[in-house]
Structure 1
Amino acid sequence: MTLERKVAKLFRLTDETWMKHANPWSVYTRYSVLPFIVLAFWSRVWIGWWCLVPGLVAILWMFFNPVLFSKPKSTKNWASKSVLGERVYLNRDNVRIPDIHITPLYTILNIISSVGMLLSIWAIVYYSIWGAILGVALAYLGKSWYLDRMVWLYESMKSENEDYKKWEY
């Protein structure tokens, strides 16, 4: 089982919820999670332990976001295709992906994103505004580039697999 499949199980992504997550509103609003977490825990100076409330709300938003939106009216857009590409990549142990997509770039981009997350956490602890800005920027750079590669993967695979082709409407 791939790491991505384990993460999908954690988020309880089924065929139906994958399609809900392919709604562009779901994709773009998830970009709000990291800044809200940073701001929530940064606010501990002003509101003390009450900072846990907006922090918890942001974390819950991250988990429930994929199921809160309806299926998109169309999946012929970048955001939807990025989610469909993630689904294709997750399924690579069952349906082979082209050699050009078997690359360490995906791992590197996830590492960049993770370094950004860790830097953001460090910045929260030490109240570093520049660390927070750089951390969020790195996290989003890595994630956005990764999602763009997932669009490319989906575009490559939809003509190869009948199930994948049906996801685009």
Structure 2
Amino acid sequence: MDVGRVSERLMGMQDEVWLRHANPWSVWSRVLTPLPSLALSIWGRASIGNGAWGAVVIVLVWIWLNPRVFAQPKTFNSWSSQGVLGERVWLRHRDKVAGHHKSVANALAIGSGLGLFPFAYGLLTYNPGLTCLGIVVISGGKMWFVDRMVWIWRDFEHMGGSLEDLTTPH
């Protein structure tokens, strides 16, 4: 099972949504807000009880809406835009991705995923240190993964790939 492709389907990431998500505002607001907001929402159960789950739902809705609310960028020259395009290459044209990128990207995805353990345990036990550790591991791994996706995008372009290759049926 490919977690990236499952996630793409769950999020309903069609071509237009991917192009809108390449807007740096979408990328950076998605990096900076969901995990801390989710942590605060879940910790809110101690003070506001079950009402905290409403805040959790709001965060989850934001995660889904985020790639849709920003306009497609005028150019795709920014690091963050290229990271999104590289992720699209990763999901759609993995056969064209160099082996050294594949091994690093997979290791980064696993490393980032390991941050879920301290994050979840920290949330369960109201431990801010473990929760923050989880956020740092998840977010740090994801940012490093995005950086690798930039490399993948640039390699894809050097091989003659283009934006059109990402928005046409495969």
Same fold (TM > 0.5): yes
Quote how far apart the aligned CAs of 1:40 are: 0.4
Q: 1:122: which partner in 2?
A: 121
Contact 1:26 1:69 in 2 (8 A): yes
Q: Larger deviation: 58-67 or 106-115?
A: 106-115
Q: 1:112: which partner in 2?
A: 111
Give runs of aligned pairs for residues 19-98 of structure 1, distance below 5 A.
19-31=19-31, 32-93=33-94, 95-98=95-98
SS class of match (1:76):
coil
Contact 1:22 1:79 in 2 (8 A): yes
Q: Which whole-Å CA distance do the structure 1 matches of 2:98 and 2:90 have between them?
A: 11
Q: 1:138: which partner in 2?
A: 137
Quote how far apart the aligned CAs of 1:96 are: 1.9
Q: Which whole-Å CA distance do the structure 2 matches of 1:92 and 1:101 have between them?
A: 13
Contact 2:83 2:150 in 1 (8 A): yes
Q: Larger deviation: 82-91 or 66-75?
A: 66-75
Q: Which whole-Å CA distance do the structure 2 matches of 1:24 and 1:86 have between them?
A: 14
Quote how far apart the aligned CAs of 1:140 are: 0.8
Q: Larger deviation: 113-122 or 25-34?
A: 113-122
Contact 1:158 1:165 in 2 (8 A): no
Q: Which whole-Å CA distance do the structure 2 matches of 1:113 and 1:158 have between them?
A: 27
Q: Which whole-Å CA distance do the structure 2 matches of 1:114 and 1:10 have between them?
A: 18
Q: Which whole-Å CA distance do the structure 2 matches of 1:142 and 1:79 have between them?
A: 15
Quote how far apart the aligned CAs of 1:99 are: 3.2
Contact 2:156 2:162 in 1 (8 A): no
**Alignment deviations for residues 113-137 of structure 1 (CA, whole Å, 9 cap, x no partner):** 1121231111111011110111101
Q: Which whole-Å CA distance do the structure 2 matches of 1:162 and 1:133 have between them?
A: 39
Contact 1:38 1:121 in 2 (8 A): no
Structure 1 residues 67 and 109: alpha-carbon distance in aligned structure 2, compared to 1, 3 A threshold: same
Q: 1:99: which partner in 2?
A: 99
CA RMSD between the two structures:
1.8
What TM-score results when the alignment is normalised by the length of structure 2? 0.89
Quote how far apart the aligned CAs of 1:3 are: 3.6
Q: Larger deviation: 79-88 or 69-78?
A: 69-78
Q: Which whole-Å CA distance do the structure 1 matches of 2:16 and 2:58 have between them?
A: 24
Q: Which whole-Å CA distance do the structure 1 matches of 2:11 and 2:160 have between them?
A: 25
Quote how far apart the aligned CAs of 1:92 are: 2.6
